[in-house]
Amino acid sequence: MRGEDIDFERLIETIEDTGSAVHSVDEIAVGKRLIENTKKTRD
């Protein structure tokens, strides 16, 4: 998933609905195309 204004709560809920668990989020890489060297920001 890439973009701005991502609904984090909905994203976690969708992941959990597949039977997966999210313990923490530092970096997620999945899919056919990986996005590398992105600028990380914190609020």
Q: Give 20-36 pLDDT, tens digit per residue.
A: 988 887 766 666 766 66
Q: Tokens 């709560």 appear where?
A: 9
Provide the pLDDT for residue 24.
80
Give pLDDT tens digits for 3-24: 778 898 998 899 899 999 888 8
The pTM score is 0.49
Cα–Cα distances in Å, from 15 out to 5, 28, 39?
18, 12, 24
Provide the pLDDT for residue 18.
92
Break the chain into its structural domains and give their ranges.
Answer: 1-34
d(CA 19, CA 15): 7
